[in-house]
């Protein structure tokens, strides 16, 4: 079987969760009990953070908060207009991690930012992210907060820091993306459907790939879609293809290793953000209308 969860597996999961998918095969992943996810928290990072664990007065490393504590009500679910909405307060860095691992799927959700923020983003744009094909332990990245994965960035509009749909590699991951560098005096690369397939991430030409701002106006919900099939993925924002990636993999001591399945993560990054309508369905092939993006 080339897909992680067959229809039979999906049905079993739905029955065990006490819910059912709709006629199109969509499985909801958000309920009032956050039953499809577990919580991981690292630290309340400060502006002087440089990628190392904080230490106490004796110079000893302070351990992260860890799994399943949900201190400060970092992740809470409330009902709005009859549907569950996940609030991420952002007070510590961390994530919710899906209980299930997925391969070959179409995921969709809606997101909007709140108002609250903490160090080190007091003067910066609000930021979050959808991480996919997540494997291993949490806390292996620069911020000591997430699992090895690929990031579909979620970013507040009107900023020079990036846009929703950007790509960040998390812990030695990489992908091939059609990119170009519009300004030769700057090292920032952007997704360009007419560009050249180049490696972004570990040992690639760049460690970040930007895209166009397709977010909804401030205060309105933005729809995100992630389509993954056999080492290819699409970042879609409000129906616009923000980026196409292929040859998803990570660097190991033995060389490149394909990474085409894993868990989902939603980030907490020192800012308030809301998610709703999180649902997923398996796919048997990359949808035909998106095949030209991989030519």
Summarised one tens digit per residue, pLDDT across range 13-58 is 443 343 444 558 999 999 999 999 999 999 999 999 999 999 999 9
**DSSP annotation string for 102-160:** B-SEEEEEEEEEEEEE-TT-TTS--EEEEEEEEES-S--STTS---EEEEEEEE-SS-S
- Lowest mean pLDDT: which of 129-143, 151-165, 204-218, 260-274? 151-165
67-83 mean pLDDT:
97
pLDDT of residue 8: 36
Summarised one tens digit per residue, pLDDT across range 206-256 is 999 999 999 999 999 999 999 999 999 999 999 999 999 999 999 999 999
pLDDT of residue 159: 76
What token pair was written down for 198? 């180049």
pLDDT of residue 182: 83
Q: Which CATH number fits domain 30-44+61-101+110-281: 2.60.40, 1.20.1530, 2.30.30, 2.60.120?
A: 2.60.120
37 in Cβ contact with 94 (< 8 Å) = no
- In percent, the amount of the chain with pLDDT more than 90 equals 88
Q: Please tell me which residue, 13 or 164, carries the higher pLDDT value.
A: 164
Rounded Cα–Cα distance for residues 147 and 84 (Å)? 26
Contacts 24+ apart (CB under 8 A), 134-140: 134/97, 134/262, 134/263, 134/264, 134/265, 135/259, 135/262, 135/263, 136/171, 138/40, 138/42, 138/67, 138/94, 138/95, 138/97, 139/40, 139/42, 139/64, 140/171
pLDDT of residue 160 exceeding 90, the answer is no
Instruction: List, in sequence order, every beta strand (DSSP E) within the chain.
Output: 27-28, 37-41, 66-67, 75-80, 83-88, 94-98, 105-117, 127-135, 148-155, 167-170, 173-180, 189-191, 196-201, 209-210, 222-229, 232-237, 240-252, 255-258, 263-268, 271-282
């Amino acid at each position: 079987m080339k897909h992680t969860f067959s229809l039979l597996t999906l049905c079993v999961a739905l029955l065990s969760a006490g819910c059912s998918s709709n006629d199109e095969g969509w499985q909801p992943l958000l309920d009032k009990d956050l039953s499809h996810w577990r919580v991981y928290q690292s630290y309340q990072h400060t502006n002087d953070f440089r990628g190392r664990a904080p230490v106490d007065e004796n110079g000893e490393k302070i351990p992260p908060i860890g799994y399943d504590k949900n201190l400060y009500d970092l992740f809470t679910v409330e009902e709005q207009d009859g549907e569950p909405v996940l609030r991420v307060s952002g007070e510590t860095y961390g994530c919710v991690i899906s209980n299930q691992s997925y391969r070959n799927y179409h995921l969709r959700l809606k997101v909007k930012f709140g108002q609250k923020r903490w160090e080190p983003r007091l003067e910066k744009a609000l930021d979050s992210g959808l991480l996919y094909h997540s494997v291993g332990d949490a806390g292996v990245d620069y911020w000591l907060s997430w699992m090895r994965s690929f990031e579909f960035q979620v970013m507040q509009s009107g900023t020079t820091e990036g846009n929703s749909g950007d790509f960040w590699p998390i812990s030695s991951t990489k992908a091939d993306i059609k990119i170009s560098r519009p300004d030769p005096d700057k090292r920032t690369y952007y997704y360009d459907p007419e560009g050249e397939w180049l490696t972004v991430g570990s040992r690639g030409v760049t460690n970040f790939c930007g895209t166009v701002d397709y977010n909804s106006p401030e205060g309105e919900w933005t729809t995100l879609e992630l389509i993954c099939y056999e080492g290819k993925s699409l970042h879609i924002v409000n129906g616009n293809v923000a980026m196409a990636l292929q040859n998803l993999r990570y660097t190991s001591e033995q060389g490149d290793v394909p990474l085409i399945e894993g868990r989902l993560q939603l980030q907490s990054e020192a800012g308030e953000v809301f998610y709703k309508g999180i649902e997923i369905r398996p796919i048997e092939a990359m949808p035909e209308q998106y095949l030209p993006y991989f030519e």
